[in-house]
Structure 1
Amino acid sequence: MTTDFKNVMSQRTDEELIKIVTILRNEYQPIAIEVAEDEIIKRGIDSTQINDIEADLKEKIKGQKEFNLKKVSSWLRLANYIIDFIASFILFIILIFIVGLFYNIDNILINHGVTYALLIIIYLGYYIFMEHKYQKTLGKFITKTKVLTKDGRKARFSDILARTFCRLIPFDWLSYFFTSNGLHDRLSNTTVIKMRLKSKNTAHNNL
Structure 2
Amino acid sequence: MQTKTDHRLVITTISGKLPRPIYNKQLPPIDINKLKLLDFAESFKSGLYTELESLDLTENVQDKWNNITKHIIETATEVLGHITPNKRSANPKIVELSRKQRQLQTYFKMSSKNNTKCKELKIERNKIQKQIKQILELKKYDTIIKQTEEINKSSNESAKITLLVDTGSGLTTNIEEQTKIIADFFKDVFNKPAGQVLLQAPPCKMSTPFTEKEVRKAISKLKLNKAAGIDNI
Work out which structure has the larger RCO, using CA pairs closer than 8 Å and 6 or more positions apart in sequence.
1
Which entry has the higher C-alpha Rg, 1 or 2?
A: 2
Which structure is higher in helix share?
1
Q: State TM-score, norm by structure 1.
A: 0.23
Q: State TM-score, norm by structure 2.
A: 0.21
